[in-house]
């Protein structure tokens, strides 16, 4: 990877408080997370965070969820995916790693 590519993919340090308090749209821009609409219709699917081989982060979220569900799920997935010390995901939700 070229140094310019590495600099492009570098993300700023993130505190748990900032993750929970910053407006979500601003947070996604700050962390350079690409938001994609998911076509998965399963009511038990709330979203997925993927790290591509080139280091990019993709947050895939289903359409039709409330703003609260979208916001909460995105923050939970980001906390887990970025390895932050955050409260556990509440039951009955689960975060799976593949």
pLDDT tens readout for residues 20-63? 899 999 999 999 999 999 999 898 899 999 999 998 999 999 99
Q: Report the percent of the chain where pLDDT is more than 90.
A: 45
Assess whether pLDDT exceeds 90 at residue 17.
no
For the full predicted model, state whether its pTM sits above 0.75: yes
Length of the chain: 98
Q: How far is it, in rounded angstroms, from Cα 22 to Cα 19?
A: 6
Written as one string, the DSSP assignment of 33-65 is EEEEEE----TT---EEEE-TTS-EEEEEETT-
């Amino acid at each position: 990877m070229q140094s310019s590519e590495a600099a492009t993919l570098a993300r700023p340090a993130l505190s748990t408080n900032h993750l929970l308090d910053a407006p979500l749209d601003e947070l996604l821009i700050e962390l350079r997370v690409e938001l994609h609409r998911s076509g998965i219709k399963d009511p038990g699917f709330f979203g997925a965070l993927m790290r591509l081989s080139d280091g990019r982060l993709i947050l895939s979220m289903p359409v039709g969820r409330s703003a609260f569900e979208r916001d909460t799920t995105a923050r939970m997935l980001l906390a887990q995916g970025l390895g932050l010390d955050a409260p556990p995901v509440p039951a009955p939700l689960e975060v799976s790693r593949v």
